[in-house]
Amino acid sequence: MKNIVLFASGSGSNVENIVQYFQDRPNITIASVLTNRRDAKVLDRCNRLKISSLCFNKIAFQQTDCILDILKETDPDLIILAGFLWKIPKKIIAAFPNKIVNIHPALLPKYGGKGMYGFNVHKAVKENREKESGISIHYVNENYDEGAIIHQAKTEILPDDDLETIAAKVQALEYEHFPKVIEKLLFEQ
């Protein structure tokens, strides 16, 4: 049995996509979804999907071992960041080496780093007249978006694409590739 813990800060569309992808695979369990926002829509999705969820604050995450202890007890094969916006503490990275995976809505190393998420990334891509964008699935290290890249996928950006169009193209890549890469990683371990 393979065990996954998901972290999310927002609506949870990637969480739902991952849950649905694995729902008919009895050898893979979504143990829980952890979020740093009490008002995150991902909590509504978890209730609807009957997935255990937990909301935590910055003190529990950064200044205590509360979340680390929960993760150790859960013993996940992978920890997946699906739109999670806080930097992962070093002690969690150290406890789960090469087991924390993030998805970023750009072709790293371009448009990564603190504050580069969602529409901030798409706006930068548009302003710089990039001809392509995409996703980067990577391991998490102590720096934002600098961990080893596992997989990238590209999409063409047309001159008349607006931010919503760019976002939709990138999100389509996320939905297509993220669950497949997670599954591959689970069984390579």
pLDDT digits (tens, 9 = 90+) for 77-93: 999 999 999 999 999 99
Range of the domain at 72: 2-188
State the total domains in the chain: 1
**Domain CATH for 20:** 3.40.50.170
| Letter string b/e over residues 6-24, b meaning 16 or more CB atoms within 10 A of that residue's CB | bbbbbebbbbbbbbebbee
**Looking at the annotation, which residues are catalytic?**
104
pLDDT digits (tens, 9 = 90+) for 94-138: 999 999 999 999 999 999 999 999 999 999 999 999 999 999 999
pTM (2 decimals)? Answer: 0.95
d(CA 162, CA 64): 43
pLDDT digits (tens, 9 = 90+) for 127-185: 999 999 999 999 999 999 999 999 999 999 999 999 999 999 999 999 999 999 999 99
